[in-house]
Amino acid sequence: MIYLDHAATTPVPKDVADEMYRVLREEYGNPSSQYAYGRQARQLVADGRQTVADALGCAAKNLYFTACGTESDNWAFTAALWQNRRVGKHIVTTAVEHSAILERCRWLEQDGYEVTYLTPDRDGNISADAVLAAVRTDTALVSVMLVNNETGNVYPVAEIAAGLKAKNEKTLLHTDAVQGFLKVPFAAKTLGADFISLSAHKIGGPKGIGGLYIGERVRNPRPLLPGGGQESGFRAGTEATAQIAGFAKAVELRTEHLTEKLEHMAQIKAYAMERLAEIPDLRFISKGTAPHVLSVSMPGYPSQNVVNDLSDAGICISAGSACHQGKPSQVTAALGLEKKVAAGVVRLSFGPETTREEIDAAAEALKKHHDTRFPML
């Protein structure tokens, strides 16, 4: 099988699975227990937190474990809007955010919040100036993702953070960095966001574990889950020790020779663009600078048919974000693409282990689909 859908999820290395199995079998104590097994588990959680925090570029005390990126996104909104409940009920975000953000915003609109959704230009870019122009005196929160999961566009979060200090210093900033963590260079201490969402399964870790960075400007964060006092009292529930260990091990593996891995993915993406350009009428949806995401369209050829044909050939690509399960995404809608182009969008996404031979196979399969199937749109 050729796997080219790393933006949806990533393969779990054997070392990660082995470490999780070891923890499940040997360090199964409850971190809240006071005997030796509990202390060992508690230390495992602390060590895992430090490992992920080091990779994120923040103090361990600012990183909290969650169940996933979606939970992290939602907690960031809960905490930010609680702190700024007297600032106002206005939110600025983009029309191309992950559905975890957009669905939360739709819920909030029913509760009386006003949300400004910024649309990208035809190349998928959103400028810091456009974001800052939308900020008002009553803006409680700005949420802009770091890397778009469908186009690979990298958004100017650091520039937005710097501009907010002058525009409205009380406005808090959240970024969903699920597609950016260990894929584009950044550090929490220089990025400037008050909240940063992470997810382990995008970097070779297990599903079911994520993280949320909460910066110093957030005073006494609103708890996501009150209860037994875990995660400094802000996210109760017995810690998922095996998943935390897997997250930390995945971070360790990914950070080894990280520069070379990012360069390899960028070279693979460039090679894929070169090979796919040979297919008649193929359109590049965006040439976003993230090294691991590439969206293209074969106008007239429905994306789900393309995905199915390649699946039959043992090649995994996506018709868009996996979160949409085959439905048209908000990203293609926001880009204002022609109907035939939008309906033919597919995404290829790469990992450090992706090879040129795999790209060759995908390019040939896409060309075969183009040459042997009749356009339907």
Contacts 24+ apart (CB under 8 A), 27-32: 27/241, 27/245, 28/241, 30/238, 31/230, 31/238, 31/239, 31/241, 32/228, 32/229, 32/230, 32/238
Instruction: Name the catalytic one among 58, 68, 316, 323.
Output: 323
The residues, any chain, with a CB within 8 Å of residue 316's CB and separated by 6 or more, are 1, 2, 3, 4, 5, 310
- Residue 68 catalytic? no
Residues 370, 371, 376, 377: is their CA dihedral positive or negative? positive
What gap in Å lies between CA 307 and CA 343, rounded to an integer? 12
Question: Within 13 A of 341's CA, how many CA atoms are on the CB side?
Answer: 16
What gap in Å lies between CA 342 and CA 328, rounded to an integer? 8
Bridge-partner residues for 114, per DSSP? 90
Sequential DSSP letters for 181-214: TTTS---HHHH--SEEEEEGGGTT--TT-EEEEE
List the Cα angle 189/153/60 in 5-degree steps.
25
Instruction: Tally Cβ neighbours within 10 Å of residue 136.
Output: 15
Annotated active-site positions, please?
Answer: 323
